[in-house]
Structure 1
Amino acid sequence: MRRLVFALVLVCIVAPVFCVRAEGAEKPALIKALLITGADVGVHPWREMSETTREILVKTGRFDVKVCEDPHILESETALKRYDVIVFTIYTKPTIPAQGMENLLNYVKGGKGFYVQHLASASFAKWDEFGKLCGRKWVMGTSGHGPRSVFKSNIVNKEHPITKGLSDFDTDDELYAKLQGTGKINVLVSANSDWSKKTEPLVFTSKYGNGRVVHNAYGHDRKALMTPNVQKLIARGVEWAATGKVK
């Protein structure tokens, strides 16, 4: 009888612990994303765009997003270590101190993720290495686009985790063209530009040290970000940059 009572007590103690552990195991840790945003060119409603980007990530249930409106956060190596991926949506003309530049490069080289969106690749015009980090860079006076319009986007790489299962789609946005750079990139999505008369890469990946980089040229405003496939490209792109896979 005593043995039976002891066994029942043991079950009552162990079972809840096991259930808690099992339940916890079903919920993977959220990806910690640092979304750096701030003042942009006048035609870009940057707060609306950054909030929409944050919403797109959060609604997947896979991200914990911290929004920062000051690129000088890059000067804090300690702050950056808290995050799995940096989502860079800011076009900033002023440079940042050398320490901030070094911290960003080391962050990505060390194996973390970097995701850059729309005009953000035009930041730090005099910092050549930033362009290499982005894979391709918008250069004022060289890069450009025709009038905003509805255009067809073509899925180039149908097997990459970011684009797997996606079909070609139409979107209402600016079609960025003549992004500059010579480094190796893996083009995932492209479109034919009437302005440049060429096929332009709009979403692509690259490596920087041990880190993963995703460059997404979509995103003129909230309307542009409402296209379902664009939202998928954002969420999947940030996830892949952070983890190297998409669930």
Structure 2
Amino acid sequence: MTPWIALAAALALPHHEEISPGVHAAGYADKHRDANSGWIATADGTLLIDLPRGIPVPEYLALVEKSTGKRARKLILTQPESADQAMLAELKMRGVERTTTAGGVQYLPFPGGAAVFHSRSKTLFGGPFVVHGPRKGLAKADTASLAATLRKLEELAPAHVVPGFGTWGGLPVLTRHRKFVEELRRQVSYFVCQDKPHADLLKEIAMPAEYQAWMPYDNPQPDEIEHVYRELTVPSAPFSGRAPSPGDGKTHALVLIGDLPHEPGHLEEGLRPVFEATGVEAHFTVDIRALNAENLAKVQLLVILRDGLMRPNITWMTPAQERAIVEFVEGGKAFLNLHNSMGLYPAGGPYLNLVGGRYIGHGPLERFRVEVVDPNHPVTRGVKDFFAADEQHTPPYDEKKVHLLLRNRSDDGKAVAAAGWAYEPGKGRLCHLANGHTRDALHHPMNQLLMRNAVNWCLRRE
């Protein structure tokens, strides 16, 4: 490499670091969207990860070769762009071939792009999915899919993370971005489930500083907030605009969660492991309008964890929604009714008649005992008596209709009430489980087992 090429390369690539032996990262300026690229020395040459910005290809290749002692032979792109065709053609002319395979490197495709993981150094090149600092592209992202992808990438436990955009670092870079996306979705979800006026949306969203890196420049922008709102409301909700295909071989659930006393973020967090363990594709929604006959026809399981009141005094469930749920279950489908999902619904209506009980209140949030009444039922199989920190609901229930599975008991023994039941209305199956207000209750191992068992029983898998 001639001295002038070396000097030009150093000037054009000021943000370059060998983050692990043989593994390099390079960063670019704001005019290049704060993008990153990198390269890895392999046995048969140097592998490029993504493209350089603002530096001619010859100078870039010269710097790469100088840093590793090996010529660049292959390139992995995490997100091809049409504007990059000329650079790709030049790289090919200079002997660099695009690939998705290389020794010691995992190419990880996800919806919307790919990531690259170097096993030896535990380095993750996060591609378009990972941003540490500037907000890039969130207004065009499928944020539910993005959050799921980030959770999968975290499972790799990388020691080094090179984001597609922004500064690199360790695992906290990845975790922070995932929490940022989830927190934005949580806040907008909480707004939607309370049916607040859309005009108030932007002033309701405030990102905690702990989820920011280049504050305040990485605050969510209005178009990003509006985009998430559209994702979480009909017509996009509950299937993100991609309704299940009847022949896809999967079991789908419509999961309606969240109200004023029950913010939806921790509810989804507590329910997600249940669906993952049972192999059910859960379509979470916070928009009550998504609960209708058309959407129910696309799923096999309905799960509700929210009450029937829009504060201060509107009972939201319509007669059409009540009929749709009854016909769904009695027609042969499954319904898991959780915690407060009997509370404040139309009194004496078809919905509460279907569920088989009604809400009359609860005691203080405290620890109480949950006792198994029928240990031989598939829903309670393997479940032992446990205590939960929760609201102790005390619902009257139809003893002639439903089969009691659980009861709860206060410390002083004065409050003893039904805590779960099951029965088969028409051709379908229904299970009610009373616990689920707090993180403690949702994540309790016995409650997780109860919910997994209930899903399987309702779907006739036992």
Q: TM-score, normalised by structure 1?
A: 0.76
1:50 CA drift (Å): 3.0
The whole-number CA distance in structure 1 between the counterparts of 2:317 and 2:418 is 28
Stretch deviating more after TM superposition (192-201 or 107-116): 192-201
The whole-number CA distance in structure 1 between the counterparts of 2:451 and 2:384 is 15
The whole-number CA distance in structure 2 between the counterparts of 1:196 and 1:122 is 24
Query: Over aligned residues, Cα RMSD in angstroms?
Result: 2.3
Question: Where do residues 1-247 of structure 1 align in structure 2 (5 Å cutoff)?
Answer: 29-38=249-258, 40-42=259-261, 44-53=262-271, 55-75=272-292, 77-93=293-309, 94-126=315-347, 128-138=349-359, 143-179=360-396, 181=398, 183-193=400-410, 197-241=414-458, 243-246=459-462
The whole-number CA distance in structure 2 between the counterparts of 1:217 and 1:100 is 22
The whole-number CA distance in structure 2 between the counterparts of 1:128 and 1:152 is 31
1:214 CA drift (Å): 0.5
Is 1:193–1:200's contact at 8 Å kept on the other side of the alignment? no
1:125 CA drift (Å): 2.8
Deviations 1:87-144 (A, max 9, x none): 0112132334433222111111101011111111114234522111111111xxxx22
The whole-number CA distance in structure 2 between the counterparts of 1:189 and 1:126 is 24
1:194 CA drift (Å): 5.9
Is 1:156–1:189's contact at 8 Å kept on the other side of the alignment? yes
Is 1:149–1:173's contact at 8 Å kept on the other side of the alignment? yes
1:196 CA drift (Å): 8.4
1:147 CA drift (Å): 2.2
The whole-number CA distance in structure 1 between the counterparts of 2:447 and 2:317 is 30
1:176 CA drift (Å): 1.0
Deviations 1:194-241 (A, max 9, x none): 688353110111222211110011011222212100011112112211
Is 2:256–2:286's contact at 8 Å kept on the other side of the alignment? yes
Deviations 1:11-39 (A, max 9, x none): xxxxxxxxxxxxxxxxxx5431110123x
Aligned pairs, number:
210
Is 2:337–2:433's contact at 8 Å kept on the other side of the alignment? yes
The whole-number CA distance in structure 2 between the counterparts of 1:135 and 1:195 is 27
1:172 alignment partner, SS class: strand
Provide the identity percentage.
25
Which stretches in structure 2 are left out of the alignment for 5+ residues?
Answer: 1-248, 310-314
1:180 CA drift (Å): 5.0
> One-letter code of the match for 1:145?
H
Deviations 1:38-95 (A, max 9, x none): 3x233x2233213321x222330521100121222233x2321111110011213233
Larger radius of gyration: 2
Which stretches in structure 1 are left out of the alignment for 5+ residues?
Answer: 1-28
The whole-number CA distance in structure 1 between the counterparts of 2:302 and 2:436 is 17
Is 1:177–1:196's contact at 8 Å kept on the other side of the alignment? no
1:162 alignment partner, SS class: coil
> One-letter code of the match for 2:297?
K
Is 1:135–1:205's contact at 8 Å kept on the other side of the alignment? no
The whole-number CA distance in structure 2 between the counterparts of 1:71 and 1:123 is 15
2:354 alignment partner, SS class: helix
The whole-number CA distance in structure 1 between the counterparts of 2:345 and 2:415 is 26
* Inter-CA distance 95–127: structure 2 relative to 1 (3 Å threshold): farther
The whole-number CA distance in structure 2 between the counterparts of 1:127 and 1:101 is 11
1:167 CA drift (Å): 1.6
2:362 alignment partner, SS class: coil
